[in-house]
C-alpha cells in the first residue's frame, strides 16, 4: 500500500492563504488507496479507479424515439397519396428482420430497432390507420424520430475518468456499457477521536461542568458522506499518555487520524505533545475565520489532522481542508469545477481584510430566480444551532472589508460541501 512521504506536512512559517494551504495538501500528499472491484450496484459514491472507454456504440442500433410507423423517406416523397402497406412490426427487443420493398412500412414501438431500408418514423398520433395500409401526413422530415446508433456514446470514447466519484447517473452510464464489476479505490480508513476532560457521550450522565461530545457525532456523519471507512476511537481524556497511546494505536490501524479539541495551546491541550512524541506535527497558520491554526502532521505513514474544538470551527475546517485531503488520499479528482450559488446579501457588515471568512448562511431563491442570502445573527463558534439554522456557508474574500445589503455574494450549499 502506498504511504505518505516523511514529514509531508512540515509547516510554512508565514501566514498562508486558503489556496496555498490547499495547494500544499495537494502537492505533499498523494493517493494511498489501492484499487478494488465492487459490484455495479454497490459502486455509487465510490471513486472510479480507471479511465473507462466505451467498447461499442450506445445505443447499439438505430431505434425509434416514438410509437409509430417506420418508412423510407425516399418512398414517402415519391408517394402521391402517402399511403403505405404495413409489412410487420418491430417492438423493443423483437426487431423486424424481414426485407422491405418499396411502399412498405413497419409498425414500430419506442426503443425498437429501425428496420433495414427505413430511415424515418411517423408518430402514431399523426397517422391514419386502415386495415393493412396507413396514410402518413404531409411534411415529415427525413430522419424524423430516429435515434442513431452511437448518439449517446461512440465506440472508443473516453466516458469516465479515473478519480470520478460515481453519482447515480455515472452508475447508469456504466450499466449502459454492460459493466458489472467496477474498479474503484478502496475507502480510506479514518480514525476519529475527541479530546477533552469535559466531554461525555450522549446517553451518559452529564456532571456539572461537562458537555456532551457533539463533534465526533457530527464529523462521523461528514466522513461517512466523504466515503471514508470511519473507526470511532471515542473520547480520549486530555493527558499526554492517554493521547499518545490512543493516537499511536489509531495511526497504526488507519490511513488518517482526526481529532478535535486540545490544540489551542492551553495548559490542558496535550494533542501537540502527544503527536510529536509519536510522529511530526505542524501548526499551519491559515488566514481564515473561523478556525486557526490547523494542526497537520504524520504518525508513521498515517496523516494526522487536529481540528479545533469549537464545533463550528471544527466543521468549517473539516470542509475546507480535510475534504481536499481525503479526496487526495482516496484518489478522487480535486478540485472539481467550482460550484457556488450567487445571491444578494440580506445584511450589512464590516470585515477584517487579509483573511477569508465563512459565515453560516441561509440561501433562498425567489420565483424570479433571484437568490437571497441571510447570515446567522451571531458569529459564536460554539453554536451548533447556527449550523442547524444554515443551509450553507457564505464565503467572504480576503480583500472584502464591507458588505452592504444587496451586494452579490458567493454561497456554498452544504449539499455540495458534504459531497
Ligand atoms: P479546546 O480546543 O479543547 O480548548 O476546545 C475549545 C472549545 O470547544 C471548548 O469550549 C470545548 O469544550 C469545545 N469542545 C471541544 N471538543 C468538543 C466536542 N467534541 N464537542 C463539543 N464541544 C467541544
Ligand atoms: Mg479541550
Number of Cβ atoms within 10 Å of the Cβ of 337: 4
Which residues, by Cβ under 5 Å, contact ligand 2, an ion?
Answer: 196, 261-262
Average pLDDT over residues 46-71: 97
Q: Give the pLDDT mean for 378-386.
A: 93
Q: Outline where 198-239 has alpha helix (H).
A: 215-225
The reply to whether domains 18-34+187-329 and 341-417 share a CATH topology is no
Model pLDDT, residue 1: 63
Q: How is domain 63-147 classified at the architecture level of CATH?
A: Beta Complex (2.170)
Q: Is the CB of 297 under 6 A from ligand 1?
A: no
| Paired residues of 306 in beta bridges | 259, 295
pLDDT > 90? residue 210: yes
Pick from 339, 347, 404, 399: which is nearest to 373 by CA?
Answer: 347
406, pLDDT greater than 90: yes
Q: 413-419 long-range contacts, Cβ below 8 Å, gap at least 24?
A: 413/341, 413/363, 414/390, 415/391, 416/339, 416/340, 416/392, 417/319, 417/323, 417/392, 417/393, 418/222, 418/225, 418/226, 418/319, 419/165, 419/225
The partner residues of 409 in beta bridges, in order of sequence, read 343
Confidence at residue 86, expressed as pLDDT on a 0 to 100 scale: 96
**Banded model confidence at residue 35, pLDDT cuts 50, 70, 90:** very high
What is the whole-number distance in angstroms between the Cα of residue 199 and the centre of ligand 2? Answer: 9
Q: Residue 211: nearest ligand to its CA?
A: 1
Could you tell me the residue ranges of all domains in the chain? 18-34+187-329, 63-147, 341-417
% of the chain beyond a pLDDT of 70: 100
Question: What would the mean pLDDT of 75-87 be, rounded to a whole number?
Answer: 89
Q: Is the CB of 309 under 6 A from ligand 1?
A: yes
Dist. CA 45 → ligand 1 center (Å): 31
Task: Give the position, in ligand 1's atom list, of the atom nearest the Cα of 194.
Answer: 19
On whether the pTM is more than 0.95, the answer is: no
pLDDT digits (tens, 9 = 90+) for 101-135: 999 999 999 999 999 999 999 999 999 998 889 99
Q: Mean pLDDT, to the nearest integer, of 159-174? A: 98
290 Cβ closer than 6 Å to some ligand 1 atom = no
Q: Is 238 in the pocket of ligand 1 (CB under 6 A)?
A: no
Ligand number nearest CA of 259 is 1
262: CA distance to ligand 1 center in Å? 8
CB contact at 8 A, 156 and 54? yes
* DSSP state string for 137-196: PTTPPTTTTEEPTTSSB-TT-EEE-TT-B--HHHHHHHHHTT--EEEEEPPPEEEEEEE-
On the question of a cis peptide bond just before residue 12, with omega within 30 degrees of 0, the verdict is no
Q: Which atom of ligand 1 is nearest to the CA of 262?
A: 3
Instruction: Give distance in angstroms: CA of 196 to centre of ligand 2.
Output: 4
Q: Which of 141-150, 268-277, 392-401 has the lowest mean pLDDT?
A: 268-277
**Ligand 1 site, residue 261, Cβ cutoff 6 A:** yes
Q: What is the pLDDT of residues 167-198, one digit of tens each?
A: 999 999 999 999 999 999 999 999 999 999 99
CATH fold of 18-34+187-329 = Molybdenum Cofactor Biosythetic Enzyme; Chain A (3.40.980)
Q: What is the pLDDT of residue 79?
A: 79
| Digit-coded pLDDT (tens) for 241-273 | 999 999 999 999 999 999 999 988 777 789 999
Angle separating helix axes 18-28 and 323-330, nearest 10 degrees: 20
**Mean per-residue pLDDT over the chain, rounded:** 95
Of 192, 194, 196, the residue with max ligand 1 atoms within 8 A of its CB, to mutate for a pocket test, comes to 196
The rounded Å distance from CA 310 to ligand 1 centre is 5
Contact of 140 with 76, CB cutoff 8 Å = yes
CATH class of 341-417: mainly beta
Query: How many other C-beta atoms lie within 10 A of the C-beta of residue 155?
Result: 13
pLDDT tier at 338, thresholds 50, 70, 90? confident
b/e 44-77 (16+ beta carbons within 10 angstroms → b): ebbbbbeebebeebbbeebbbebbbbbbbbebbe
Q: Which alpha helices (DSSP H) does 226-322 contain, by range? A: 240-253, 271-278, 311-317
Whose grid coordinates read 464489476? 181
Identify the weakest region by mean pLDDT among 75-84, 253-262, 309-318: 75-84
Residue 336 has pLDDT above 70, yes or no: yes
Contact between 311 and 387 (Cβ < 8 Å): yes
365 vs 312: CA distance, rounded Å: 25
Other Cβ atoms closer than 10 A to 353: 12
Cβ of 210 closer than 6 Å to ligand 1, yes or no, is no
Q: How far is Cα 264 from Cα 266, in angstroms, rounded to an integer?
A: 6
- How many Å apart are CA 319 and CA 306, to the nearest integer? 13
State which ligand 1 atom lies nearest to the alpha carbon of 260: 16
Amino acid at each position: 500500500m502506498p504511504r505518505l512521504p516523511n514529514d509531508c506536512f512540515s509547516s510554512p512559517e508565514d501566514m498562508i492563504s486558503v489556496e496555498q494551504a490547499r495547494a500544499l495538501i495537494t502537492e505533499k500528499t498523494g493517493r494511498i488507496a489501492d484499487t478494488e472491484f465492487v459490484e455495479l450496484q454497490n459502486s455509487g459514491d465510490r471513486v472510479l479507479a480507471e479511465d473507462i472507454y466505451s467498447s461499442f456504440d450506445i445505443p447499439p442500433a438505430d431505434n425509434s424515439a416514438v410509437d409509430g410507423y417506420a418508412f423510407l423517406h425516399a418512398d414517402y416523397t415519391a408517394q402521391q397519396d402517402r399511403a403505405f402497406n404495413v409489412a410487420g412490426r418491430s417492438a423493443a427487443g423483437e426487431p423486424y428482420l424481414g426485407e422491405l420493398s418499396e411502399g412498405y412500412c413497419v409498425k414500430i414501438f419506442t426503443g425498437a430497432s429501425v428496420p433495414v431500408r427505413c430511415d424515418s418514423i411517423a408518430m402514431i398520433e399523426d397517422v391514419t390507420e386502415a386495415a393493412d395500409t396507413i396514410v402518413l401526413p404531409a411534411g415529415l422530415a427525413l430522419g424524423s424520430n430516429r435515434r442513431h446508433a452511437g448518439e449517446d456514446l461512440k465506440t472508443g470514447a473516453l466516458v469516465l475518468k479515473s478519480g470520478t466519484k460515481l453519482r447515480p447517473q455515472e452508475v447508469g452510464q456504466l450499466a449502459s456499457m454492460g459493466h458489472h464489476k467496477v474498479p474503484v479505490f478502496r475507502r480510506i480508513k479514518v480514525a476519529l477521536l475527541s479530546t477533552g476532560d469535559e466531554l461525555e457521550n450522549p446517553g451518559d450522565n452529564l456532571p456539572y461542568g461537562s458537555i456532551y461530545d457533539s463533534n465526533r457525532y457530527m464529523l462521523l456523519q461528514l466522513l461517512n458522506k466523504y466515503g471514508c471507512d470511519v473507526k470511532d476511537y471515542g473520547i480520549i481524556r486530555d493527558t499526554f499518555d492517554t493521547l499518545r497511546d490512543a493516537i499511536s494505536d489509531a495511526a497504526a490501524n488507519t490511513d488518517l487520524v482526526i481529532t478535535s479539541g486540545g490544540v489551542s495551546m492551553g495548559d490542558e491541550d496535550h494533542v501537540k505533545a502527544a503527536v510529536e512524541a509519536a510522529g511530526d506535527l505542524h501548526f499551519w497558520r491559515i488566514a481564515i475565520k473561523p478556525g486557526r491554526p490547523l494542526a497537520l502532521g504524520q504518525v508513521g505513514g498515517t496523516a494526522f489532522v487536529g481540528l479545533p474544538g469549537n464545533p463550528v470551527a471544527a466543521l468549517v475546517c473539516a470542509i475546507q481542508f480535510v475534504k481536499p485531503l481525503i479526496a487526495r488520499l482516496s484518489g478522487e479528482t480535486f478540485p472539481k469545477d467550482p460550484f457556488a450559488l450567487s445571491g444578494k446579501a440580506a445584511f450589512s457588515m464590516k470585515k477584517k481584510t487579509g483573511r477569508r471568512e465563512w459565515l453560516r448562511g441561509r440561501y433562498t431563491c425567489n420565483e424570479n430566480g433571484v437568490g437571497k442570502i441571510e447570515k446567522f445573527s451571531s458569529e459564536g463558534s460554539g453554536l451548533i444551532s447556527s449550523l442547524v439554522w444554515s443551509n450553507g456557508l457564505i464565503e467572504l474574500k480576503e480583500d472584502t472589508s464591507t458588505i452592504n445589503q444587496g451586494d452579490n455574494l458567493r454561497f456554498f450549499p452544504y449539499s455540495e460541501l458534504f459531497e
